[in-house]
Amino acid sequence: MIAKVLVSLQDEVLDPAGRALTERLNNLGFPEVKSAKIGKYIELYIETGDREKEKERVEDMCHKLLANTLVEDFEIIHEQEDKKKELKV
């Protein structure tokens, strides 16, 4: 199974990178962009037969390491394994 994890700063935490990106996009002719956030994308290839357990485990991983929940939110997207290949590392 593949779990895709999106991590981003919480709205109330100032994000200088997102602010800089907003300004640059505005300068490039995209004034409609009012704000931006730059987050992280993590892809995990997981070998387990138990999909429900996998969801719990990935959530646990987010709390223990993948996100710092003091300042970050995370979102997990679980995908069925359609291709029998491990991620290249």
Partner 1 sequence: MKVAVVVFPGSGGAADAVYAYSEVLGQEAYTVWHQEETLGDPDIVVIPGGSAFGDYLRPGALTRGSPIVGAIRKYARDDRPMIGIGNGFQILCELEVLPGVLLQNISSSFLNTNTFVCVDNDRSMWTRHLDPEELLSLPMSCYCGRYYADKRTLKDLEEQGHIAFRFCDLDGDVDLDNPFNGSVNGIAGILNRHENVLGMIHHPERAVEDLMGSVDGYAILQSIVLGDTVDLSGRDLDDDDDDDDDDDDDDDD
Choice between 24 and 82, CB closer to partner 1: 24
What does residue 26 show for φ and ψ, rounded to 5 degrees? -60, -45
Phi first, then psi: give them for residue 39, nearest 5 degrees: -120, -155
Give the per-residue contact string, 32-71, with partner 1 (x = CB under 8 A; - = no).
--------x-----------------------xxx-x-xx
**CB neighbour class for 62 (10 Å; exposed up to 12, middle 13-18, buried from 19):** buried
Q: How far is the CB of 31 from partner 1 (least distance, A)?
A: 21
Binding site for partner 1 (CB under 8 A): 9, 13-17, 20, 40, 64-66, 68, 70-71
